[in-house]
């Protein structure tokens, strides 16, 4: 482009520049006049973009927040993920722990309390990793201790894994003396003795491995072997037999007489704490005798004696009726008198009622049902019903000497009495049913080490009056 004059060329360049900036014509003319008067050459300029923001380059991995001119760059607050605590640890913050930073894992001790304001507060954090799974030893199953017939003790070999407790259960009676001793490698082992009701006779904190004491109540006793290391050991337990009753049969005991044509008789009475009373009745060999005593305020134990034999019967609280019951049922081995010493073993005066029933087994026509196991099986379950009309139910089972017979009977509406006798009718074991709240049924359970090979008779009988038939399931197990 050809300029007519120096003034026109300068004017064209300035006009082009300001047209790009979109400035008004009056301002352009005023600028041209100033330039022409000064005689200076206008240098080329680059376009100016109003309010342009500075270019900021982010340098990973450190994040920087871009700001507008005149503002201060802000670095984000750090965010911490608390560590994964073990199963026996808790989170702990010694002071302020913003965004989770400063939280540690600690092992609480007895008496430690973490206050609400000390609980870790974590905001805007990533999901924390779950605690690492640990191989915590599973607690072993409790072991029931059974003495051999006629024995007063047992030695049970056992083992315990570090960090676990092996529990043994032994039922014993009030007034007996128990002696427990561990033998073997006893380093880092401890023995605890606890009553069924929660009474602690010896704590594991004692570090002792033996205990001896008089038992205050008839109940299950828990013998816990606590292992701070894995060890093999032998648990030796002895329980002295109850002393023979010091009271003898009264010179003039109250004699039980049945009215003509009847097979039962009931006697009421009252006994104070520690007091005793003796009853006597006459029966014949082979007859089936049953007695049921109920008392309201205290348990009454019964000692049954006949020539050469003394049998103990314990008063037990029946939770369904909230009364104490003492029961027994026998096929009588002799013809003659049988004496019964009733003793109040509680701490309160109590009234009682005892009922005797005697029936002739040969006239009853009861034929035992033979129990058969399927091939390869060690147990069998049978169902039935029992009532006052049907009478007792009997089963016969063949087993071998030294085997253990376990019986569990579950009755729907009333407790049942179970006896085990040999083929000659000699009583070997007996048990009354008790109510099980977890099962909502009455359970009768027995376990017996069989003294000889042959047939064994198991008899089921009602305890007291039952207006309706009682359905039951009975399971026989031979080991």
**pLDDT grade, residue 27 (50/70/90)?**
low
The answer as to CATH 2.60.120.380 being correct for domain 254-362 is: yes
pLDDT at 427: 81
pLDDT at 351: 94
From residue 354, give the alpha-carbon distance in Å to each of 59, 287, 325, 328: 97, 19, 10, 11
> In the CATH scheme, what is the code of domain 143-239?
2.60.120.380
Residue 38, pLDDT > 70, answer: no
245 versus 453: the higher-pLDDT residue is 453
Task: State both tokens at 105.
Answer: 């894992």
Instruction: Write the CA distances from 102 to 30, 75, 128, 260, 302, integer angstroms.
Output: 69, 20, 15, 92, 70
* pLDDT above 70 coverage of the chain, percent: 67
**pLDDT recorded at residue 99:** 62
Query: Does the pLDDT of residue 217 top 80, yes or no?
Result: yes
The residues, any chain, with a CB within 8 Å of residue 390's CB and separated by 6 or more, are: 469
Q: What average pLDDT does the segment 124-146 reach?
A: 65
Q: Break the chain down into helix, strand, coil percent, rounded to 5.
A: 10, 45, 50
Distance from C-alpha of 288 to C-alpha of 360, rounded to nearest angstrom: 6
Query: pLDDT tens digit string along 271-318?
Result: 999 899 999 999 888 788 889 999 999 999 999 888 878 888 888 887
Which pTM value belongs to this model?
A: 0.35
| Residues 377-418 pLDDT 10s | 999 999 988 876 667 788 999 999 999 999 999 998 888 888
Fold match between 143-239 and 367-478? yes
Is the CATH number 2.60.120.380 carried by domain 367-478?
Answer: yes
Q: Are 373 and 346 in contact (CB under 8 A)?
A: no
pLDDT greater than 80 at residue 160: yes
Domain segments of the chain: what residues?
6-38, 143-239, 254-362, 367-478
- As a whole number of angstroms, the distance between CA 196 and CA 17 comes to 104
Of 330 and 81, the structure prediction assigns the larger pLDDT to: 330
pLDDT tens readout for residues 60-112 = 444 444 445 554 445 555 656 566 665 566 666 766 676 667 767 777 654 44
Segment 107-122 mean pLDDT? 48
- Reported as a single tens digit per residue, the pLDDT across 172-214 is 888 788 999 999 988 889 999 998 877 888 888 888 999 988 8
Q: DSSP of 423-438, one letter per residue?
A: TT--EEEEEE-EEETT
Residue 78: predicted pLDDT: 61
Of the two residues 122 and 132, the one the predictor is more confident about is 132
Lowest mean pLDDT among 52-56, 279-283, 349-353: 52-56
């Amino acid at each position: 482009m050809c300029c007519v004059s120096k003034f026109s060329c300068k004017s064209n360049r300035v006009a082009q520049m300001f047209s790009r900036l979109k400035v008004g014509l009056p301002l352009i003319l005023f600028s041209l006049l100033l330039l022409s008067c000064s005689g200076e050459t206008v240098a080329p300029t680059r376009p100016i973009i109003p309010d342009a923001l500075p270019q900021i380059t982010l340098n990973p991995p450190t994040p920087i927040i871009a700001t507008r001119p005149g503002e201060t760059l802000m670095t984000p607050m750090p965010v911490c993920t608390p560590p994964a605590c073990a199963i026996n640890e808790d989170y702990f913050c010694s002071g302020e722990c913003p965004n989770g930073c400063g939280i540690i894992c600690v092992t609480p001790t007895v008496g430690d309390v973490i206050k609400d304001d000390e609980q870790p507060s974590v905001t805007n954090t990533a999901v924390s990793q779950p605690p690492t799974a640990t191989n915590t030893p599973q607690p072993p199953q409790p072991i029931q201790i059974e003495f051999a017939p006629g024995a007063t003790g047992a030695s049970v070999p056992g083992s315990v894994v570090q960090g676990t407790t092996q529990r043994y259960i032994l039922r014993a009676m009030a007034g007996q003396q128990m002696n427990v001793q561990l033998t073997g490698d006893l380093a880092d082992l401890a023995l605890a003795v606890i009553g069924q009701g929660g009474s602690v006779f010896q704590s594991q904190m004692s570090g002792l491995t033996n205990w001896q004491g008089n038992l205050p109540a008839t109940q299950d006793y828990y013998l816990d072997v606590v292992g701070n290391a894995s060890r093999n050991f032998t648990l030796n337990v002895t329980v002295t037999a109850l002393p023979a009753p010091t009271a003898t049969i009264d010179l003039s005991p109250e004699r039980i007489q049945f009215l003509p044509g009847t097979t039962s008789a009931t006697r009421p009475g009252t006994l104070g704490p520690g007091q005793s009373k003796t009853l006597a009745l006459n029966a014949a060999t082979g007859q089936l005798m049953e007695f049921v005593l109920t008392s309201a305020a205290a348990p009454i134990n019964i000692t049954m004696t006949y020539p050469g034999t003394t049998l103990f019967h314990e008063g037990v609280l029946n939770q369904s009726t909230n009364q104490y019951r003492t029961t027994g049922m026998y096929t009588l081995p002799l013809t003659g008198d049988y004496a019964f010493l009733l003793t109040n073993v509680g701490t309160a005066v109590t009234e009682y009622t005892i009922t005797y029933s005697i029936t002739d087994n040969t006239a009853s026509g009861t034929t035992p049902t033979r129990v058969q196991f399927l091939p390869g099986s060690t147990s069998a379950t049978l169902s039935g019903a029992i009532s006052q009309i049907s009478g007792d139910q009997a089963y016969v089972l063949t087993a071998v000497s030294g085997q253990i017979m376990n019986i569990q009977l579950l009755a729907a509406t009333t407790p049942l009495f179970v006896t085990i006798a040999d083929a000659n009718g000699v009583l070997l074991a007996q048990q009354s049913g008790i109510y099980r709240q977890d099962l909502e049924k009455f359970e009768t359970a027995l376990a017996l080490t069989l003294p000889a090979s042959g047939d064994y008779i198991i008899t089921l009988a009602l305890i007291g009056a039952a207006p309706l038939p009682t359905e039951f399931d009975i399971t026989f197990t031979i080991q």
